[in-house]
């Protein structure tokens, strides 16, 4: 029975899509057809199967999830969304260190939603990818966790901070030491501003970087062989922003605040 029910749900895209549609509330057949872009004959066969399995109920010319059907679909959503995140960028996940993400954030990876891979042009290999820089320029709040260093970023972030952007940065100890040794004046000016906070994380961060602003999330993972290439996975979904904030806070809880040099 368990396998039969799993097949009922997942072996037909029409049935799966209908269940996910009805989680939003009861719908008549015309609404269903318009939403799923299907014909009456093709969807009625699938509706009957779902009714026979007790997942969907028909009453007052509308179809809606049964009480248990609603519970099942709510449990389905994280799995379906996780599969979508993976399948949309399967080459990226296969080639990069997904395990570098903290376990609690791995378990919520579906929250990043639709992502776009942004890569730097050849003439910007040591600068922020253009689309990422364009979006950062619009941000009012920038929070970043980073385990690698680029000289271009130091000057760019100071520019953002001097323009009034609220900046929260967490860096590893090696990154901090390089900033202090090679870019002391930039670092001193950055932490002197009222709208900036800098933290040092004394353990390995694992991922290359994660940036979350009031508008978007971006993150970059290392290749599985430990190499890094200039890129960002970007998402603008609200759930992605919350995921990014929680990742930042995960590291901030044990990071050390820098109040002077």
CATH number of the domain residue 205 falls in:
3.30.870.10
Could you tell me if residue 84 is inside a domain?
no
Rounded distance between C-alpha atoms, residue 61 and residue 64, angstroms: 10
Q: Give me the number of domains the chain comprises.
A: 2
List of the chain residues with pLDDT < 50:
none
129 and 249 share one domain: yes
Domain holding 145, by residue range, is: 90-257
* 0.75 surpassed by pTM: yes
* Runs of H (alpha helix) within the chain: 2-10, 13-22, 29-36, 40-52, 67-88, 90-95, 103-106, 130-136, 151-162, 173-182, 184-192, 238-252
Confidence (pLDDT) at 124: 73
Confidence (pLDDT) at 5: 75
Q: Residue 190: which of 159, 214, 213, 211 has the closest Cα?
A: 159
Confidence (pLDDT) at 70: 95
């Amino acid at each position: 029975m368990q396998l039969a029910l799993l097949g009922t749900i997942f072996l037909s895209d029409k049935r799966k899509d209908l269940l996910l549609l009805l989680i939003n509330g009861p719908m008549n057949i015309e609404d269903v057809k318009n939403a799923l872009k299907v014909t009456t004959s093709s969807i009625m066969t699938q509706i009957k199967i779902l009714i026979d399995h007790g997942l969907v109920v028909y009453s007052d010319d509308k179809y809606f999830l049964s009480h248990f059907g609603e519970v099942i679909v709510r449990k389905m959503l994280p799995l379906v969304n996780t599969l979508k995140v993976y399948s949309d960028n399967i080459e990226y996940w296969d080639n990069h260190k997904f395990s570098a993400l903290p376990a609690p954030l791995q378990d919520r990876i579906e929250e990043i939603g639709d992502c776009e891979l942004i890569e730097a042009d050849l003439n910007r290999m040591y600068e922020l990818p253009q689309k990422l820089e364009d979006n950062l320029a619009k941000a009012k709040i920038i929070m970043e966790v980073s385990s690698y260093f680029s000289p271009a970023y130091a000057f760019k972030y100071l520019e953002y901070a001097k323009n009034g952007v609220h900046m929260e940065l967490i860096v590893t100890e090696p990154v901090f030491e390089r900033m202090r040794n090679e870019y002391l004046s930039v670092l001193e000016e950055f932490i002197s501003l009222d709208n900036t906070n800098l933290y040092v994380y004394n353990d390995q961060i694992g991922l290359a970087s994660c940036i979350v602003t009031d508008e978007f999330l971006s993150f970059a993972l290392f290749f599985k062989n430990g190499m890094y290439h200039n890129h960002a996975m970007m998402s603008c979904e609200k759930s992605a922003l919350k995921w990014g904030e929680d990742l930042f806070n995960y590291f901030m809880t044990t990071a050390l605040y820098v109040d002077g040099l």
